[in-house]
């Protein structure tokens, strides 16, 4: 695996929205030897109702450019091009996110793909749309159109859009198409835009493999040609219900999307890294929850140690051992 950069993601709270706090955090990140930071665009409070606050965006540009860091962004999580009813604000939010990413010099913008059932609806089953296969295909084509439009804007801004494989939930097993990397690869191929590729979320993949009985290596091989970015985090491969939010309740039972540091779960990272191999040339973001910030100084060492084991895995596979 060849890296363009390694870093951490920042949370959606005042760590990101308060410029003084963000400044302190960026100093800490740079001091730890990381060269990349992933910023949640919704945490920056630069978009309201799909429109950009230009003066606030300029303040971010001034601050971010004063650090020797690279940046990636994450478009707002609730942006959903499959939203029931009016999606005009979602469309504006998508394009504004691309513009913001370009303005701050971000190399990658992560995008959560369209969901047939929004996460905010998962606990309210009577609100779920019951789409036919034909209707689902129409939604996929709608997303393809907007991904091409956003891809054109991203290309002009010097940004790559990375579509993400999503986490599974027990209460709605098919709320989104991109629970399997194979399905995500199908959509990326249908978009067919050079600036629309994939981010591999390792924790989401781990849970999906266990919940749906997917073949890990087969799924990786299918998506690998498009992976330009990685969200690296650990869990125990056990999905939870969407209503279960407290990590302090979930972690003792090893359940849910923990977003824990590598080594704090049973993610088979050695197999993942071995399968991606030299074909991966992108950014690795340790997307760990704020509760694990004390692990930041260990993250690079944990990654390097895991890669050392990966070499052994690759050798064993090649030797037929």
Q: Return the closest-CA partner of residue 112 out of 139, 78, 142.
A: 78
pLDDT, residue 307, reads 87
Residue 277: pLDDT over 50 = yes
pLDDT, one tens digit per residue, over 93-135 is 999 999 999 999 999 999 999 999 989 998 899 999 899 999 9
The rounded distance, in Å, linking the Cα atoms of 98 and 168 is: 26
User: Taking the alpha carbons of 186, 191, 192, 196 in that order, is the dihedral positive or negative?
Assistant: negative
Mean pLDDT of 8-36: 98
pLDDT, residue 189, reads 99
Mean pLDDT of 69-82: 98
pLDDT, residue 310, reads 60
Counting every residue written for the chain, the total comes to: 321
pTM, 2 dp: 0.95
Residue 316: pLDDT over 90 = no
Question: What are the helix (H) ranges across the chain?
Answer: 14-17, 19-31, 54-64, 88-103, 133-157, 181-191, 202-212, 216-223, 247-250, 269-276, 296-319
| CATH, residue 189 | 3.20.20.150
Residue 318: pLDDT over 60 = no
- Exposed/middle/buried for 192, CB within 10 Å: 0-12, 13-18, 19+? exposed
Instruction: Provide the domain limits for residue 211.
Output: 2-319
The rounded distance, in Å, linking the Cα atoms of 79 and 199 is: 17
pLDDT, residue 319, reads 38
- Whether the CB-CB separation of 290 and 15 falls below 8 Å is answered with yes
For tokens 């940046």, what's the residue?
71
- The total domain count for the chain is 1
Residue 24: pLDDT over 50 = yes
pLDDT, one tens digit per residue, over 220-231 is 999 999 999 999
């Amino acid at each position: 695996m060849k890296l363009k950069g390694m870093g951490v993601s920042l949370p959606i709270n005042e760590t990101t929205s308060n410029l003084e706090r963000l400044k302190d955090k960026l100093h800490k990140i740079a001091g730890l030897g990381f060269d990349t930071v992933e910023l949640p665009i919704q945490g920056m409070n630069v978009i309201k109702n799909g429109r950009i606050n230009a003066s606030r965006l300029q303040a971010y540009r001034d601050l971010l450019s004063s650090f020797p860091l690279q940046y990636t962004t994450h478009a707002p999580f609730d942006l959903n091009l499959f939203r029931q009813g009016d999606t005009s604000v979602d469309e504006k939010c998508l394009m504004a996110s691309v513009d913001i990413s370009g303005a701050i010099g971000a190399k990658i913008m992560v995008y959560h793909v369209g969901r047939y059932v929004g996460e905010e609806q998962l606990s309210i089953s009577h609100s779920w749309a019951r789409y036919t296969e034909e209707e689902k295909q129409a939604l996929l084509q709608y997303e393809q159109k907007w991904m091409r439009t956003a891809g054109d804007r991203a290309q002009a801004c010097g940004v790559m859009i990375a579509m993400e494989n999503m986490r599974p939930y027990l209460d709605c097993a098919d709320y989104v198409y991109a629970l399997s990397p194979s399905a995500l690869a199908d959509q990326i191929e249908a978009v067919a835009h050079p600036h629309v590729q994939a981010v591999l979320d390792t924790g989401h993949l781990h849970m999906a493999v266990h919940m749906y009985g997917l073949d890990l290596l087969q799924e990786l091989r299918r998506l690998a040609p498009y992976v330009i970015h990685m969200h690296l985090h650990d869990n125990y491969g056990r999905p939870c219900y969407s209503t279960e939010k407290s990590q302090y309740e979930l972690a003792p039972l090893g359940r849910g999307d923990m977003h824990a540091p590598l080594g704090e779960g049973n993610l088979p990272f050695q197999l993942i890294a071995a399968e991606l191999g030299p074909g991966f040339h992108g950014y690795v973001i340790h997307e760990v929850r704020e509760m694990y910030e004390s692990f930041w100084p260990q993250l690079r060492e944990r990654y390097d140690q895991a890669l050392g084991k990966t070499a052994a895995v690759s050798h064993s596979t090649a030797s037929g051992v």
